A and B are shown apart, each in its own frame.
Chain A
């Protein structure tokens, strides 16, 4: 059905968003798994690629748990709480795509830990939670940056860079929420 035939703009918008989401998810999997590219020989994924993806998956699973801790801490007020839940959703998407890609490449995705050792006793205010999350996101940017040149398959490098961009935006927004300069420098390391 054409968007012009929709009974209302709301229905049209819902349908569009639903389709976009499905399209993006599929595209993300294709981007990360890159089966076509692999077949084309742009650099075969090897055991190191699978290990890099698994290390990234471990960090994403930890980030999901960290945001869960923040969301359940009762320290976050709206709209910061909504932001944390949104960012957690992104990490869930990253983790899902990474796990599926690892499986496609013949690896075994790492599982989330039963418990994580977060310094929960040091989180006493919204700012503490934001700082904690910002530190994790900054680290994630550096980790992906350090992983991008290591992939044997360049499509995996591209996909990791795509996730890096998302983590960098998280970091900037969290810094902004803390009243800090959102983008503290021209380069990341």
Chain B
């Protein structure tokens, strides 16, 4: 009997028990992380920060009637997975002068989960109704 087999079996157990670094983003976990954003943001309406419905594909600083910082208005960012990931990691470094004075989310997996939740939320009825009601 090979002495290597127990090691292989152990490795198999580890593979099953340990989530891969590139595991698929978790929407439910992203929803929990979104609680941090809810000091200033809501999905369907503007608060201290702008609404998140309609976020993907939107030009930064473009929600009508919202009072953005000049820095955000002039950032030329288009919100997508990549730009959100960069911004959420270091909001103030990415857009110096933004009013989003938040240290950021350093954990890449947490950012991925949050972005997945935001994407999911944009497909919900709540956001659909917001889009329909927005002139």
Complex Cα distance, B102 from A48, in Å, reads: 11
Query: Interface size class for chain B?
Result: 20 to 34
Complex Cα distance, B46 from A62, in Å, reads: 11
A142 within 8 A of B: yes
A126 within 8 A of B: no
CB distance B39 to A136 under 8 Å? yes
B38 within 8 A of A: yes
Query: Interface size class for chain A?
Result: 20 to 34
Can you name the residue of chain A whose Cβ is closest to the Cβ of B71? A51
CB distance B102 to A139 under 8 Å? no
CB distance B103 to A52 under 8 Å? no
Complex Cα distance, B96 from A150, in Å, reads: 12
The digit string for B13-43, where 1 denotes a CB below 8 A from any CB of A, is: 0000000000000000000010111111010
CB distance A135 to B35 under 8 Å? yes
Q: Which of A116, A138, A150, A189 contacts B101 (CB 8 A)?
A: A150
CB distance B38 to A146 under 8 Å? no
B99 within 8 A of A: yes
Contacts of B99 in A (CB 8 A): 51, 54-55, 58
Known contacts: A138-B35, A142-B39, A189-B36. The answer to whether A147 contacts B102 by CB under 8 A is: yes
Q: Which of B36, B37, B47, B100 contacts A116 (CB 8 A)?
A: B47
CB distance A139 to B35 under 8 Å? yes
CB distance A139 to B37 under 8 Å? yes
Known contacts: A48-B92, A59-B48, A116-B47. The answer to whether A142 contacts B35 by CB under 8 A is: yes
Q: Which B residues between 70 and 127 are near A, CB-CB below 8 angstroms?
A: 92, 97, 99-104
A77 within 8 A of B: no
Name the distance in Å between A49's Cβ and chain B's nearest Cβ: 9
CB distance B48 to A58 under 8 Å? yes
Q: Which A residues between 97 and 136 are near B, CB-CB below 8 angstroms?
A: 116-117, 119, 135-136
The interface centre, meaning the residue of B35, B46, B47, B101 with most chain A CB atoms within 10 A of its CB, is B101
The interface centre, meaning the residue of A51, A59, A148, A149 with most chain B CB atoms within 10 A of its CB, is A51
Complex Cα distance, B104 from A142, in Å, reads: 11
Complex Cα distance, B100 from A142, in Å, reads: 13
Kindly list 5 other residue pairs between chains A and B, CB separation below 8 angstroms, not including A58-B48, A141-B39, A189-B36: A136-B38, A138-B35, A142-B35, A145-B103, A150-B101
4 interchain residue pairs of minimum CB distance: A139-B39, A143-B39, A142-B36, A139-B38
A residues apposed to B, CB below 8 Å: 48, 51-52, 54-56, 58-59, 62, 116-117, 119, 135-136, 138-143, 145-150, 189
B residues apposed to A, CB below 8 Å: 33, 35-40, 42, 44-48, 92, 97, 99-104
The contact sample of 9 A-B pairs, CB cut-off 8 A, is: A48-B101, A55-B101, A59-B39, A62-B47, A135-B38, A139-B35, A139-B40, A145-B103, A148-B103
